[in-house]
Structure formats: structure tokens, C-alpha cells
Structure 1
Amino acid sequence: MRLSFAERKFSLSALSLGLGLVVTLSTSTAMAADGCTFTSTNTWATGYCAELRVTNATGSNLQGWTATFQSAPGMTVTSLWNGSWTVEGSLNKVTSQDWNGAVLAGGVATFGFCGTHSGTVIPPVSCTLSGSSGGNTPPPNPPADTQAPSVVTGLSVLAKAPRSVDLAWQPSTDNVGVTGYEVFLSNVSTPVATLTGTSASVTGLTPGTAYTFTVKARDAAGNRSAASSPLTVTTPSPKKLVGYFIRWGVYGRAFYPKTLDTNGTAAKLTHLNYAFGNVVNGKCGILPSPLGDSWADYQMDFDAAKSVDGVADLWSQPLKGNFNQLRKLKAKYPNLKVLISLGGWTWSGGISDAVSTPEKRQAFVQSCIDLYIRGNIPGLPAGAAAGVFDGIDIDWEFPVSGGLVPGRPEDTVNYTAALAEFRRQLDAVRPGLQLSIATPSAPGNYSKIELGRVHAYLDHLNVMTYDMHGAWDSKANFHSALYNQTANPDKARRDSTQEAVQGHLAAGVPASKLVVGVPFYGRGWQGTQAGPAGDGLYQSTWGAAWGNSDDVTTGATGLFDYFYIRNVLESTGVKRRHPEAQVPYIYNPSTGLWLSYDDPVSMGVKGDYILNNNLGGAMIWELSGDDPQGSLLTALKSKLNP
């Protein structure tokens, strides 16, 4: 988890350092009150250092003085030099030291201090000087301070994120007193942070970049220590946040590409997978229902209110529908990668034959690239859909094992060869085009894929670590548990996220390429027996409950979107969180409804699991299931890409 340093985060916004970093250093002078001059010598986001000059208006020479000043609202003093300091609330009292107690009539007493502010540095609201009358002896010059503070030691990293690094170090010592520290980047003479404490958060960094830091201590006389030993820190690359957008969401759900903009989803994602593209007669194709939905893809008119940029479609424009809106979404979020996802549960049946021979593989891949990457849609001008997709995601359910359509033994090697062909043709079109696959969570299914070989052709693998239990089971069980459970009657099925991840790692997939699937929906059963624990877990049911989901790709019952679970079901049943599975569940004893799902807490736990195991990120099926506040996605992003 990234730490928060409320008093030590700096707005680096004034002076460019040529490295994507900037720093604010300022000096300003203002009258604090009659006879007092306040000069801020350094300011930053929440702190400042200043000098206060107080005129002796008593009419007498002073031998020993006391200055009293009232801090303005929102201002505090944390350290002071050239005087002995006490504070009561906002009232500060400073008495002279041995060497600076003599002040002639009309002369000034001077001291400096550092503190915090709440947004604006404001001079003291009152200021007085008093003391004992003395002779005409002028004040002696203060002893010269030429000794620099000791070198900073113990420079270390407290936390790091893609665009920031939190540092800490041991305090320095000085013969008079250390007044602050400066943080430097190598080869840059201006500090990137100036502060009084011994920790700092440096922001504005670039992900995946090595930075070398040093720290110097300073005192009131301006002496600076030598630089600390350098510390090199590499900022992590952002974790991938992959979300599936369902094309049919534009109908009953009114979930449009613009929704991804207005609800903040597009700004949080790194990848958006459009579900799904069909494979017909060995080729990628967009055909009328039931083989496709050309209306939603590129023919549907979007009025101004539903359009990403607020501009309505014209009847005469060649490309409309979701494809045109996705292109507008990418223009607004240029870092968002949009991929076409091929197959899915319903449309995977044609893939086995399409990749069965070298000639078929070459033609199949070429058809997919021509349609989705080059944007050549039959019946439209050439290249009408160019620029919509940045790559291809293949969701084959499942090689060899089959799904709605039986597989065949040779699917294993043919799939590897097909992915190699996809990689070859994509690279020939343009370097940087993405290629990913969705892999199953069950060992009996992912073992049919040559994971140790295919990852070389892929940017990442989306592990479908959900639907581990569902309508096909007669007993209530977790459909997306993070860890297996001691009492799980199906424990031998290895039905947990952690076991699926470990299986992929054991097969040779690099951790950085594994993207963990998380569901924005739950699965429920009806008529569930209470069981010994009285909560229905692992108990017999009447079958899958009738959920609220309109998932037309499967027609499955028992599916409940998270927004419905949160708004309706959490208040009508008893919610518990399993200490081993690390996910919540709901049981309603009056109806027998038992429901397995994820909430923001479990999303955060899974985010920690991804970070702690150096995995590639998280994949979401599917985005329209979140609540209007985006609670699930926000919980993930706050962990993975804060």
C-alpha cells in the first residue's frame, strides 16, 4: 500500500527541471504588524520558512529582549533559531540568546523559524518587543556559523508507485541546529523537495523509470551538508486494468461507450476488451443475428446525449454504432488500449476448425486483422473502421475440452501455432499491436494450452478466475474465492484464484504477464439448506436462483450484478466474509437464497494479492455490473495504480 504524507507532499509546479519534475521555491516580504517585517524565505505545498524582524520601539536600548507574536489562522511554527521559543496555542514567545540580547533604540531583533500552513503563507497578526533597559553598547555580531550539518544517512524507500516515490532518512546533527533538508535528483542542481522533516514524497515521476536521489541537510546560516549516499529507485510500471465491454449493453442496460467516460471508468482502465467477435466459416465476420450484431457494432445511431463527444451521428456517415463511439473514446483517452475479443462462451465453436491447418490459420488471422485492425468492413468504404482497435484478445472456451462445441486433441498444438501466426501478422502491420488471450481457471482446461510456449507471443493472459461454481452445481459454493478453504467439499478441484495463478506460474508463464480475473457479478442458488453453521455454505440447493442479469451470451440463471446485490440483496440477507476464501457471501434464511460475490473490500484484498505476487494486473468481467459510484473498479485502481 502506498503511504500518505499529508504534510510532506509537494506541488512541483513552478520551475521545470527537464525531467517531468518541477519545484516551487519562493521568497516574499510583507509587513506583519507595526514595527515588524515578515519575510518568507522558502515555501512549499504545506510548509514554509521565514524571518521576522522586530523593531525596538520602546525608546530605550535593551539588554535582553522578548518578542511576542500571534500566528495567523492556519499557520503553525515547528522550529525556531536565534532565540529561545515557547508556544501556547497560536501565541509564540521568543527570548534573546546571550549573543543577540542587546538592541539599540530603533534597532531590530531578528530570528527565523519554519512551520506549516493550510494553503497560504500569512504574516503574524500581532507582534511586540519588550525587555530590560540597558546602556548604549551596540549588540555584538553573532558568532559566525561556518559548520555544516552532518551528512544525511539511512536514505531509504518507504513506498513507491508508478508516478511517485516516498523517501525517509535519519536526522542530521549540527552545532547550532538543522533547519531543513533538500532532496535532489542526480544531475539536477535544484532540489525537487525542500522540507523540515525527515521524509518526503516526490511526485510527477514517469512509470518504469530509474531515479537516483540524494538528500542534503541545511542550517540557519545556509550551510549545507555534503550529499547523502545515492539511492536509486525504479518506479513500477502501471498494473494492467482490463475491462470487458459487452456490445449488448446498449440495449436493455443503456450502457454505452459514453458511460465509460461519464462514470470515470475509461480514465481508470488501461485496456478495454470489446465482447465479442464471431468466427464463422473459418473467418472473422460481423453478420446479422444470431451470428453477430452489426447494428450494435457499426450501424446504430447515437444521438448527441449518448455520444462520447456530444456530437450526434449523421445518417450519411459510413461508420456509426459502438465502433465509432469507441474511436471517440480513444481520442479522449489516448492511453486506453481497445481490443476486439474473439469467441466467448457462445462464439468459440468456430475457432477449432479455423486453426486446424497452416493454410486455415493464415487465412483466419488475415481475416481478423483485415476486419478489425485495418477496419475493412464489408459494405463500407475501405478502412472505415480503422483506428478503432489496438489489438486482438482471443477468448477460446476451450481448446480440447470444448464448451458449447466439442474440442479435439490437436487443438493444443494448433492453438500455439495460431497465436504465433497472430503475432507475426500483427507485428507486420504495426509494432505495438496487442495480443492477449483469456485462459480458464480449472486445471483440466488450462493444462490443454501450452502456456509455457504461448506466453512468448502474448502481451498478457487474462485468467478467468470466476465461475468456479455456478448453476451446474447442486451445492452452494464460492464462484471466485481467492484461497481454497479447509472445509470445502470440492477442495480437490483446486477452485480458487490462488491455485489457478500458481498453476499458470508452474506452467512457465511469467508473473508479470498474468492478469487476474475478477467478477463484477455474483452467482446465487435458491432453496439452500441452512446447514450446521446456519449460513447455507456448501449445502444442498434447489438449483440456481433467478438473477437480475441479462447476460444473453449464456442465458444462465443465478447471475446477479454487483449494483443489484449492493442495492437490494445486502439489505435482505445476512452478509458474512469467509476468513479463508477472503470473499463475502449472503444467506437469506427465509428464502434460502445463497449468494457468492465480490465487494470493494475483497477487491482490495485481491489487489494486494496481485501486488504482493508481482502479477500483471486485474481483468474485469464485466464493466456494466459495477454500481453507479464505480465502487469495485475504484477499489482495484486504488490498490494497483494509485
Structure 2
Amino acid sequence: MYYSLIYLLLFLVQTNLSAKYSRVCYFTNWAVHRTMKEARLLPEDIPADLCTHIFYAFASIGSLTLQAKHPNDLGEYQGEKPLYPRIMKLKEKNPELKIVISCGGWGNSGEFDSISASESSRETFSKNALAFCRQHGFDGVDLDWEFPSSNHRENFGLLVKTMHKVFKKEAKKTNKERLIIGLAVGAGKLQVKQGYDVPVLCHYVDMVNVMTYDLYGSWTNKVGHHSALFHRRGEKGLEKELNTNYSMHLWIKAGCPRDRLLIGIPGYGRAFIATGGDPIKAYGQPGGVSSISSPYLGESGLLAFYEICKNELKEGFKRYWDDDHQISISYKDGTWIGYDDPESVRNKCEYVKQEGLGGAMIWALDMDDASGKFCRKNRKKRLRRFPLINAMKEVFETNEQTTQQSTTPLPTSTLSNETILLNEEFKNLLDQMFDEASSSSKFVPTYRILSFLLILLSLI
């Protein structure tokens, strides 16, 4: 019996090592109707194999159910046909693509109060959300609660627990794949501590997208990069915490399995006013947000990646690299822009692989250079569409299985009847492993399987 268990565990380990990293891309339904045509993004503009998951933002929450939010979601609007069926056509080209409906978003935290307040409301919402997804073809629900307070902490955990129960029951009954549950969560220490029952949330959801951006802005009153990978030498206190690495380890230490965690990558930069000729020395300078305006996004102090490309190619902005933060800066005449480019994205995705995380998320598809025209330096070269997301894809799809498998024979047992006596602790662990494997859309984390294997071998 124990030989069968060992071989099964080894098979799961080997299978897990070849699992794909998730590439979550947010699609915003308002990007179809931007004023300037070159800033628009249609569902048909998205390569079907670019992302592993597309999160459609946003649906509303009302009357304990999900509701289409934009007039164009289910109806014709300003000459455009309904978006839901159009984005679903991507799955015809790539059956493995998962399209998830996202609800909430900035300024809509109040929508979650009614659906999480009681077990009755949680179950009603879960069943209604399930029906909404099945009706329109979505593969799951993303809860983007920005942000739960300490008063919501317990109820948020109970909400995802109920959703998981309802989704799992329906999948078993209908023999369909269980709907995905995703979360978009805060990256700050106070947010994590107060608003999230991390062990509960991470046990019942499939992916946790940590919004590791907007770490600096007008609210900080000083120049800083909003999406740095690591801290800089000399940083202390809060400043040392405002980076991707710190935020991800916050979630890990709070009890979230690494394979459930995805880092957040912004498709935009944040601009500040700085003095001096060296942008690297501008960190920590007191100053407000730059008044530089985005003609494409219609916002001040925030520019899409493709706008930054255009500025660097045509407006005299110069690109700098910060070795400590492992991130890029664009600078000209006191306008300081912290942003991600393909190099920083590749670094972050290598970090994901080194840390054993689940993948990366980008906000949002329409902020990358969808056409490839903005970032093309040489007109004779082929257009490079979606350079940020393609950098992510290249790193994650690179075969990392470079080590040779061990040829050391398995130890043999002296038990005469070739049986193994499992203690109660191991039984519980084994039951948990198989329960997670059967209920989750992902494989059991490698480190957990290895732990089970080591316990098993110690009992032989």
C-alpha cells in the first residue's frame, strides 16, 4: 500500500512542477469608449493566448446578485455590439482561457456590506452569482473589495467560504468545472492586518491578486516609486515597506500559501514634481503630484505605459533604471514618473518563479501598448503588441525544469505484509491534501506534497 502512496505523491509533485503560472489581465469595459480612438481597446484586439485569465471589470452588486454595469455589457451602445458575448469568443480560439467577472473596484466598497452581513445573504449572493456566471459564460467571480475594515474581516472570510461551498456543490452536481474565486487585495501592512482573515480567505479562493502598486501617490507628499520590487538602501520605517517584496511576504507570513498569491503589476506610471537633474537622488523629496495630464486616460498625474513610451520617443523624456528598486523611471525638467517597463516586468516575473508564487496580474490591458505603435523605436521593425504582458508571458513560459531527476532508489521497508500503519496526524494531512486536490482548480502546492511525502517516509 505504501508503495502506491509514494508513487502517487511523486506523480503529483512532478505534475505540479510543470503547472503554469497565472497571467491575470484586467479588461475594463469603459476602454472601448475612450474619446481618442487610439486609446480604445476592443475584445477583438486581445490575442486569445496572451493571458491565462481575463478579469472583466466591472459588474455591480445589487439585490444580492451580480448585475451588468456598463450599457455595453449586454446591449448595443454607441455603435458597439454587446461586450459579454464578444469577449467570450476568445475562448473559441483558446479553450484553456478563463474569463472571470470582477465586481467592486475603487469607490464601491459599500456594495459588499449587504452580501457579507449574514449567512442568508452570503448564500443567496453565492447562488445568484453562480447563476449569473453560468448564464453569461464566465468561469468565476473576482471580489475586488477596496477595502474591508476590521468590522468586515470575519464576514469577508465567511463570504468566500460560502461561495466556495456553493460553487463546489454545483460543480459536483452538474459535473461542470467549479467556478473560480479570485480576490484583489491590498498590499499595505494595516490593510492586511485589519481587513483580511488571511488563512480563511486563502483556503477557499483560487488566487489572491495583491495590488502591489499605488504604494506612492499624492497621499504620501513625497517622491517615491509606486510599484518598486525591492526597498532601496537607506530606507527605514514605512518607506522600507513600500515595495512588492515586502507586501508579498506580509501575505505569506499571515498564512497564505505561496501558490495562491499573484503580484500586481501596473500598466501605468505615477508622476511627481522633483528638483535637480538626477531622478535617482529625488527619492524622498517633498512634493506633490505632477500636473502632467493624460490626453488618453483623461487623468492628471497618471499616464498609461504607452503614453510614457511616446513621451520618451517624442517629448524628450529620458528613461532611468534604479538598481535597488529594480524598476524604471522616466524624467524630464522636474517631471518624475515611476513606472514598469518590459525589463522591470521580466524581473518581477523571475521573482515570482524564485519565490514560488502563483503568477502575476496586470491592471490593465488597455494601458499596455496594445497596437505596438507607441513603443516602436524603429519604423522598420515589426510591431510589438502588448510588450508588458508579452514580457510576463515569455518569462512564465520559459522551461525552468533544468535540474536532472534524482536516480536514487526509494528506500525499502522491512514490514513483512507490505503495509504501513499511519498515525492520526498523517491521516488528517492526507485527507486535507486530497480534499484540496479535488476541490481546487490548481494542483496542491509542491512544498505541501513534499511535506506529506517526508512524513510518509518517516513512518515506514
Among residues 247, 250, 257, which one is paired with 2:43 in the alignment? 257
The DSSP-based 3-state class of the residue aligned with 2:294 is coil
- Moved >6 Å (runs of 4+): 531-534
In structure 1, C-alpha distance between the alignment counterparts of 2:95 and 2:344, rounded to whole Å: 30
C-alpha contact 1:586 1:595 (8 A) present in aligned 2 = yes
Change (3 A) 1:550 1:392: farther
**1:239 corresponding residue in structure 2:** 21
Q: 1:533 to 1:615 in 2, by over 3 A?
A: closer
**Whose strand fraction is larger, Structure 1's or Structure 2's?**
1
1:421 is aligned to 162
CA deviations over 1:377-408 (Å, ceiling 9, x no partner) = xxxxxxxx3x2x000111100110xxxxxxxx
Please state how far the C-alpha of 1:531 moved relative to its aligned partner. 8.1
Match of 1:516 among 252, 257, 263: 263
Aligned positions of 1:345-356 closer than 5 A: 345-356=106-117
Q: Residues 594, 353 of structure 1: CA spacing in aligned structure 2 closer, same or farther, 3 A cutoff? A: same
Amino acid aligned to 1:248? W
Instruction: Give the Cα–Cα distance (whole angstroms) in 2 for the partners of residues 254 and 458 of structure 1.
Output: 32
Distance 1:490 1:298, change over 3 A: farther
Query: How big is the shift at 1:414?
Result: 0.2
The alignment of Structure 1 onto Structure 2 pairs a total of residues equal to 365
Q: 1:534 to 1:250 in 2, by over 3 A?
A: closer
Equivalent residue runs for 1:526-537 within 5 Å? 526=273, 528-530=274-276, 535-537=281-283
Contact 2:270 2:301 in 1 (8 A): yes
Report the CA distance shift for 1:366/1:557 in structure 2 as closer, same or farther (over 3 A): farther
* 8 Å Cα contact 2:109-2:148 kept in structure 1: no
Q: SS at the partner of 1:543?
A: coil
Q: CA deviation at 1:491?
A: 3.8
| Structure-2 residue corresponding to 1:394 | 143
Q: Secondary structure of the equivalent of 1:608?
A: helix
Question: Is residue 2:82 matched to residue 1:333?
Answer: no
Secondary structure of the corresponding residue to residue 276 of structure 2: coil
Is the counterpart of residue 498 in structure 1 residue 245 in structure 2? yes
Q: Which string of whole-angstrom CA distances, capped at 9 and with x for unpartnered residues, describes residues 202-256 of structure 1? A: xxxxxx9969xxxxxxxxxxxxxxxxxxxx8975211100000000011013311
Whether the 8 Å contact between 1:209 and 1:235 is mirrored in structure 2 is no
How far apart are 1:492 and its partner, in Å? Answer: 4.5
- Is the Cα–Cα contact under 8 Å of residues 212 and 243 in structure 2 kept in the other structure? yes
TM-score normalised by the chain length of structure 1: 0.54
Structure 1 residues without counterparts, runs of 5 or longer:
1-207, 212-231, 287-291, 307-319, 376-384, 401-408
Equivalent of 1:470 in 212, 217, 223: 217
The structure with the largest alpha-carbon Rg is 1
Letter matched to residue 111 of structure 2: G
Residues 1:641 and 1:302: Cα distance change in structure 2 (over 3 Å)? farther
| AA at the equivalent of 2:342 | P
| One-letter amino acid of the structure 1 residue matched with residue 51 of structure 2 | L
Percent identity, aligned pairs only? 27
- Which residue of the partner structure matches residue 78 of structure 1? none
Does the aligned pair in 1 maintain the 2:224–2:283 contact within 8 Å? yes
More helix by share: 2
Equivalent position of 1:370 in the other structure: 131
The TM-score with structure 2 as length reference comes to: 0.74
Q: Provide the residue aligned with 2:200 in structure 1.
A: 453
Structure-2 change in CA distance of 1:299 and 1:532 (3 Å): closer
Report the Cα distance in structure 1 between the residues aligned to 2:343 and 2:10, rounded to whole angstroms.
31
Match of 1:484 in 2: 231
| In structure 2, C-alpha distance between the alignment counterparts of 1:441 and 1:369, rounded to whole Å | 28
Structure 2, gaps ≥5 residues long: 1-8, 172-176, 373-384, 399-460
Q: Give the residue type in structure 2 aligned to 1:247.
A: N
User: Which segment drifts farther, 327-336 or 497-506?
Assistant: 327-336
Please list, as runs of the form range in 1=range in 2, the aligned pairs for 1:113-124 lying within 5 A after superposition.
none
Aligned-residue CA RMSD (Å): 2.6
Partner of 2:325: 581
Give the Cα–Cα distance (whole angstroms) in 2 for the partners of residues 479 and 462 of structure 1: 17
